[in-house]
Structure 1
């Protein structure tokens, strides 16, 4: 089993109990909600097989409010592919195994339609599930309305992309297929394609991963407070640190990749392929290294979503760099401080 498919989850609570747990709520190490359902028939190698599926806070809330049934919750594509685990091996955590690696027809293991939350035997404890975290940026100096707009636009683009890619665990999964469709939708000739792509990503992630501006204080010093999924916000903060320490190297990779596209005549065109394999390999190397340097989650899934057309893959790598660099510029100019810098200084 590939390392990327290894997941672990811990117990939160049982929702249905008949001579043992039948339906339970778990949480993985990233804080994602995982619904686990007992498999009625045995599976070889499992003493107490359960099928598990990640779900968004909104879908779980809809299920608990009886707007959807358990079958819909566990078949909804946005949560990715189902996993299996053995309840008998549960200690503090249990390892989740991709169901498709164990059984041929995963759909046969999922619950039938018609089971709603009213059928729970255990009372839901009202746990605050995957809450949105407050993130406060301290700002200083002169900020125009355009500055606020640019700051939020770059923050929103990066937040939406990181939230989305964090869920694309498998390059062949349903979320990856949606990414394929979004990339194929645009010719990648001019700025409109880039704006449209990030707008689509943002629209797709807003329901499950909302980013909200909760406070803006214009005074100098002032604050911009947002609320969102903590892991994605921390990834953006880490990106600022990466630019602080490695901007020269990243900038060199960016210029090299941009130059390769320009010299090959594909920069402002809708071409998907480079003119020759040597140029293609050079571009792929620079794009891979650029995304790895930016600590982008699962760059292989981005390449797969481009259907291994390396021209759009390279252009997307450039676009991510530009957004990171523009967001970092506010920090480099001394006009923005990260939440971690504010809390550590106490000011």
Structure 2
């Protein structure tokens, strides 16, 4: 049991119960009587993913009680352990009343305990904003930036050959059909999901003026890799664009854009030219781990070509904000965009 928020009494507490090889988690809030004294505690069972979201401040406490999927309610007369060292919870089968739910906007940062907080990321970057922006621009930029970050971070996990993370990264490369937009979103989402919450990129703050800034946090090494990728893309954008156009043009003419990455039925001649064109683009793209990816993909030219096109689109879109002068790194960023 952990007391997450205390005043004179425990107000918000966390209980853990062994369940198979894992644990179940219950968060309990004190419920006052008419005199303001503790009458009992009202608790909710939450799955691990919701608990992680709560401690990551991606939801407030009320969300766990009112909206989290799979939630179940319990009551406890006291949260003091009994003679066996256990807290007795009785299942509450009715819909909770408003008086039993915590207030909105109570986040984990209000806790008086450090329990559940992982060490923050050591890396921070500030991007300077200028020109005209809208909310869609911010959302699209951050999504593409996160995809590039996730790719670079996931590639590092392949060094831990045989680990569960490395296996999940390999599965992401080999399990998607790469036929339409949802496949690519699923691919990058799978890479993002491999990353522990404390290592994921996040938006720490936005000050939108002209000029303004965006503060990003993440692993310092990966943030620097993404910065380098963007700079190199801008420096070599003409040759990268030509390689992209040649590959995509050939795939369009050969009707390869709509077939899945698992399709084996292409002629040796088409496969040979596809491999040559995708190799040219992939070699020019400023991303890491190319040898590692080649080992995973093996003789799957369609998969390699489609991943190369997907990386190109994300690098192109992200770099465009810098080429337009709407974004720049806080330290001067030299480039020669078209």
Aligned to 2:268: 277
Return the match for 1:246 from 230, 236, 255.
236
Aligned to 1:48: none
Aligned to 2:253: 263
Shift in Å, 1:157: 0.5
Aligned to 2:309: 318
Aligned to 1:168: 158
- Secondary structure, aligned partner of 1:340: coil
How many matched pairs?
Answer: 216
Mapped pair 1:140 → 2:140: no
Aligned to 1:334: 325
Residues 1-347 of structure 1: matches in 2 within 5 Å? Answer: 131-169=121-159, 175-207=165-197, 209-270=199-260, 271-273=262-264, 275-341=266-332
1:285–1:177 distance in 2 versus 1, CA, 3 Å: farther
The answer as to whether partners of 1:179 and 1:305 remain within 8 angstroms in 2 is no
2: CA distance between counterparts of 1:209 and 1:174?
17
**1:5-29 deviation digits (Å, cap 9, x = unpaired):** xxxxxxxxxxxxxxxxxxxxxxxxx
1:229–1:166 distance in 2 versus 1, CA, 3 Å: same
2: CA distance between counterparts of 1:323 and 1:245?
16
2: CA distance between counterparts of 1:302 and 1:208?
25
- Secondary structure, aligned partner of 1:214: strand
1: CA distance between counterparts of 2:198 and 2:274?
34
Aligned Cα RMSD in Å? 2.4
Q: Considering fraction of residues, name the structure with more helix.
A: 1
Give the number of the structure whose alpha-carbon radius of gyration is greater.
2
**1:208-229 deviation digits (Å, cap 9, x = unpaired):** 5221211100111010001111
Shift in Å, 1:129: 7.9
1:208–1:304 distance in 2 versus 1, CA, 3 Å: farther
- TM-score for the superposition, normalised by structure 1: 0.57
2: CA distance between counterparts of 1:321 and 1:183?
16
2: CA distance between counterparts of 1:153 and 1:141?
20
2: CA distance between counterparts of 1:249 and 1:138?
27
The answer as to whether partners of 2:172 and 2:187 remain within 8 angstroms in 1 is yes
**1:25-61 deviation digits (Å, cap 9, x = unpaired):** xxxxxxxxxxxxxxxxxxxxxxxxxxxxxxxxxxxxx
Shift in Å, 1:183: 2.8
Shift in Å, 1:268: 0.8
Shift in Å, 1:130: 8.9
- Secondary structure, aligned partner of 1:180: helix
Shift in Å, 1:256: 1.2
**1:65-105 deviation digits (Å, cap 9, x = unpaired):** xxxxxxxxxxxxxxxxxxxxxxxxxxxxxxxxxxxxxxxxx
2: CA distance between counterparts of 1:340 and 1:171?
36
- Secondary structure, aligned partner of 1:341: coil
2: CA distance between counterparts of 1:176 and 1:304?
13
The answer as to whether partners of 1:163 and 1:232 remain within 8 angstroms in 2 is yes
The answer as to whether partners of 1:159 and 1:233 remain within 8 angstroms in 2 is yes
**1:284-320 deviation digits (Å, cap 9, x = unpaired):** 2332232232232121222332343110111001100
1:293–1:174 distance in 2 versus 1, CA, 3 Å: farther
2: CA distance between counterparts of 1:321 and 1:181?
21
